[in-house]
Amino acid sequence: MKQVFRTINQVGGLWLLLGLTAVLILPWYKVAPPELVSGGALSDAALFQALAGRAWLWPPVLGILALAGLRVARGERWQADDLVLPIAGTSFLFFLFQAFAIGLRGPAIPALGEAFPAAMLGQTGLGWGGFALGAALVGIIADSLAARGFCRGERFGANAVIFVVALLLLFVFFPIIRLASAALFTPEGVFQPGVFIERALAPDLWNIDCLTGGSRCGVVINTLILGITSATLSTALGLALALLVARTGFRFKGALRAISILPIITPPFVVGVAIIVLFGRTGVVTGWLDMLFGIPPTRWIYGLPGIVLAQVLAFAPITFLVLLGTVEAINPTLEEASKTLGAKPFATFRTITWPLLRPGLAAAFLLAFIESLADFGNPIVLGGGYDVLSIRIFFAVVGARYDLGNAAVLSIILLTMTLGAFWLQTQWLGRKSYVTVTGKSDAGLAAQLPTPLKRTAYMVVIPWVLFTLGVYLIVMVGGFVNDIGRWDLTPTFRHLNTAFSFEIGERGLQLFGSAWNSLQTTLLVSAIAAPLTTAIGILTAYLISRQSFVGKQAFEFGTMLSFAIPGTVVGVSYVAAFNIPPVDITGTMAILVICFMFRNMPVGMRAGIAALSQIDKSMEEASQTLGANGFTTLRTIVLPLIRPAVFTSMVYAFVTAMTAVSAVIFLVSARHNMATAYIMGRVENGEFALAIAYSAVLMVIMIISIVLIQFLVGKRQLGRRAELQSVTAPTAAE
């Protein structure tokens, strides 16, 4: 292995080889373009396409050949040559220009058609050759920057920074730009800001009739009402839970924490379905209420109440964890001081504890608010006539009337709202966090909750616990009984059979169930996405906490941004960006994997940053002075020491890929269908039992996988002194 790398480096590095392969051997286009010379070009590679008449391919081809020439002329340290950066840079710019300027149906600029008649035929999306050349040029640029001292001369670091930036630009920013242009331009490319304004201000978005006694509100208003209601209730419930756990003698703390993990591994829709089974018009609870108290069954659950119920169930664990952190961070001596000054318990709570909690409450509220805006699964199952933005966007793209322009406008409104909340949150957390953790040990005991508050907390929490248990009971049982909807509890495997029947006969294993296809795709995509997501997340964490480079703050902000974009918006933006050349990848499995990678990487990144901050930086520097390059250092020193972060990231990436719906629902295809999309189809058809059975199977798979990942990644074992060492790390390097 080492020898292979060394040989590659001697002949000019991986990137030069890849570049040469890209222009000489690999097919440049995804689909071979129309032939220009009789008998066709010698091959589909760029060089031969350029020879055959696609003259706009000459700059990148000649660029790579020139770089190869430089390698021959300058020897092994050729990347340091002054010509490398200009040549690679210009080639890359020409490469980008031709890719975007000449589309499927010909050149975007008429002058190009006159210069290159062949361009009038248009070109298809980039294939292996095109992507490989792009990567090669980016890599050569990174290498030559490293040779000039970028990233302290560390080639791996420079490559990592440049590539992560390039990937973020391509898969986070570029789609958003395309989305914006879809909102502002007609499909023919005519600029039409008027239509944008007209669509953005449409009355069915902003109508506030329902507040003034009318029947219906606009979609945006609906979305805001839902977000505020759901965030308020989730925060209240989260606070009650946090106070119970941290400030009372509550005995079932462990169980509470366990319950709070459940929503993370719960597939979408299933909670909604369970709620319908419980409270729908023919629901179990509805039936009891009718029987016992004569309350007539209604459809009240469909609409705002049902969505709020489902969302609070899903978000309360998140707000609970945020608020538990806040409550535990309050220095108990402050409350003790208040008491010694004569304040009664309730007065202490009101004047000391509550104000200290406020920043945490704001953070929890905004987090739940953002989640609520982005939620797609619950509104689509429980919405009834209650329209929210994510649903409206979905039907604008997937519905009968495909209208990408309108979807783009709605997406921009949704994006503005979430980014606004996200911005508020960072502002709030940045300024208003009263950190009372001083690093000194505090001898004080946390104050117990005043009795009236304790009662209130119990009154809030107990119904929630019952409700959660009810919902998960339905989830566990529903798939394995005859008809949960009508409370027919005869045990049966027929739903499971519909989904997952198989036969082991003379022709080997044969899968008949209707769900096998989507399950296989889901598992494959998740299994590919989890390590890749972790890799890019941890790599980004490493870059942010260990490398210094120009533009690092913007870089950090960009990575966080990708976290704040709602899944629905990501989905639409991917449709807008990747359905047409040059990057034409819709309908492939790759787009699913890529989508998961960039949506889920921030979790790995945060875990990585937290873990890295615990590790003495000089360990990596020691490795470097001993001759290890950045990659070897990362592999042999850093990764073994941050295994828990790797584990967290893997689990999160895997589980979210299994349960995500909002973005992938736009990206699945007949060939590559995902489990969640399949379940959604069943719910829409009213096949609740099948949906529940499939969800239960997914949850079991997830639990097994988490155990498996833990086994694969392993546990960190370090001596006590090693930890001390990292604590006493030098604080004031000059």
Partner 1 sequence: MSETAIEFTDVEKRYGDVRAVDAISFSIRKGELVTFLGPSGCGKTTSLRLIAGLELPTAGTVRIAGENVSTRAASERNVGMVFQSYALFPHMNVIDNVAYGPTIRGGAKKAAIERGREILTLLGLDGLEKRLPSELSGGQQQRVAVARAIVQQPDVLLFDEPLSNVDAKLRRRVREEIRDLQRRFNLTAVYVTHDQEEALAVSDRIVVMSQGKIAQIGTPQELYDRPSSRFVADFIGDANLIEGAVSQNAFTVEGLSLPLPQPAPDGPATISVRPERIALEKGDGVSKIRTATYLGSRYEYIVDTPFGTVLVSAPISLAPLDRGDTVKLGIAPGGFTVVEHA
Residues 149-208 that bind partner 1 (CB under 8 A): 149, 152-155
Residue 722 makes contact with partner 1 by CB under 8 A? yes
Residue 721 makes contact with partner 1 by CB under 8 A? yes
**Number of Cβ atoms within 10 Å of the Cβ of 291:** 9
Q: Give the x-and-dash track for 59-98 against partner 1 (CB under 8 A).
A: ---------------------x------------------
Residue 509, SS3 per DSSP: strand
Q: Which is nearer to partner 1, 9 or 436 (CB)?
A: 9
Point out which span in 198-206, 558-566, 585-593, 715-723 binds partner 1 (CB under 8 A): 715-723
In order, the DSSP letters of 375-397 are --HHHHHH-TT---HHHHHHHHH
CA dist 352 to 246, 337, 362, 446, 645, Å?
16, 10, 17, 12, 35
Tell which one of 91, 623, 656, 662 touches partner 1 (CB under 8 A).
623
Q: Which of 221, 182, 189 is nearest to 205 (CA)?
A: 221
Tell which one of 621, 671, 710, 712 touches partner 1 (CB under 8 A).
621
Residue 545 makes contact with partner 1 by CB under 8 A? no
As measured in angstroms, the least distance from the Cβ of 720 to partner 1 is: 6
Q: Which is nearer to partner 1, 623 or 676 (CB)?
A: 623
- Between CA 499 and CA 508 the distance in angstroms is 19
Helices and strands (DSSP H and E) totals, the chain = 35, 6
Length of the chain, please? 734
Q: Which is nearer to partner 1, 174 or 631 (CB)?
A: 631
Residue 625 makes contact with partner 1 by CB under 8 A? yes
Tell which one of 622, 700, 704, 708 touches partner 1 (CB under 8 A).
622
As measured in angstroms, the least distance from the Cβ of 10 to partner 1 is: 13
Strand runs (DSSP E) across 499-581, as ranges? 502-505, 508-511
Q: How many residues in the shown chain lie near partner 1 by CB under 8 A?
A: 43
- Side-chain half-sphere exposure of 590, counting CA atoms within 13 A: 8
- On whether the CB atoms of residues 272 and 378 are closer than 8 A, the answer is yes
Residues 601-620 that bind partner 1 (CB under 8 A): 616, 618-619
Q: Which is nearer to partner 1, 482 or 725 (CB)?
A: 725
Point out which span in 100-108, 182-190, 443-451, 724-732 binds partner 1 (CB under 8 A): 724-732
CA angle 425, 431, 434 (to 5 degrees): 105
Residues 371-400 that bind partner 1 (CB under 8 A): none
C-alpha torsion 289→293→298→300, nearest 10: -70
As measured in angstroms, the least distance from the Cβ of 19 to partner 1 is: 23
Point out which span in 7-15, 128-136, 246-254, 712-720 binds partner 1 (CB under 8 A): 712-720
Point out which span in 111-119, 169-177, 673-681, 722-730 binds partner 1 (CB under 8 A): 722-730
Residue 717 makes contact with partner 1 by CB under 8 A? yes
The secondary structure of residue 330, as a DSSP letter, is S
Residues 136-155 that bind partner 1 (CB under 8 A): 146-149, 152-155
Structure tokens at 394: 């979905």
As measured in angstroms, the least distance from the Cβ of 438 to partner 1 is: 24
Q: Which is nearer to partner 1, 403 or 616 (CB)?
A: 616
Q: Name residue, tokens 């449709």.
A: 575
Measure CA 607 to chain center. 15
If residue 501 lies in a helix (H) or strand (E), which one and from where to where? none
CA angle 537, 172, 590 (to 5 degrees): 75
Q: Which is nearer to partner 1, 153 or 193 (CB)?
A: 153
- Between CA 722 and CA 578 the distance in angstroms is 48
- On whether the CB atoms of residues 501 and 510 are closer than 8 A, the answer is no
- On whether the CB atoms of residues 220 and 205 are closer than 8 A, the answer is yes
If residue 9 lies in a helix (H) or strand (E), which one and from where to where? helix 2-10
- Between CA 516 and CA 522 the distance in angstroms is 10
* Beta-strand pair 106-107/102-103: antiparallel
Point out which span in 394-402, 467-475, 674-682, 721-729 binds partner 1 (CB under 8 A): 721-729
Q: Which is nearer to partner 1, 72 or 626 (CB)?
A: 626
Residue 734 makes contact with partner 1 by CB under 8 A? yes
As measured in angstroms, the least distance from the Cβ of 630 to partner 1 is: 8
Q: Which is nearer to partner 1, 443 or 724 (CB)?
A: 724
- Between CA 449 and CA 247 the distance in angstroms is 6
Residue 441 makes contact with partner 1 by CB under 8 A? no
- On whether the CB atoms of residues 20 and 130 are closer than 8 A, the answer is no
Crossing angle, helix 516-546 and helix 643-659, to 10 degrees? Answer: 140
Q: Which is nearer to partner 1, 205 or 641 (CB)?
A: 641
Q: Which is nearer to partner 1, 56 or 156 (CB)?
A: 156
As measured in angstroms, the least distance from the Cβ of 638 to partner 1 is: 10
Residue 624 makes contact with partner 1 by CB under 8 A? yes
- On whether the CB atoms of residues 56 and 119 are closer than 8 A, the answer is yes
Q: Which is nearer to partner 1, 43 or 726 (CB)?
A: 726
Tell which one of 90, 426, 501, 629 touches partner 1 (CB under 8 A).
629
- On whether the CB atoms of residues 641 and 623 are closer than 8 A, the answer is no
Tell which one of 565, 641, 653, 660 touches partner 1 (CB under 8 A).
641
Q: Give the x-and-dash track for 665-704 against partner 1 (CB under 8 A).
A: ----------------------------------------
Tell which one of 187, 627, 711, 715 touches partner 1 (CB under 8 A).
627
Residues at the site binding partner 1, with contacts judged by CB under 8 A: 2, 6, 80, 146-149, 152-155, 616, 618-619, 621-630, 632, 636-637, 640-641, 717-722, 725-726, 728-730, 732-734
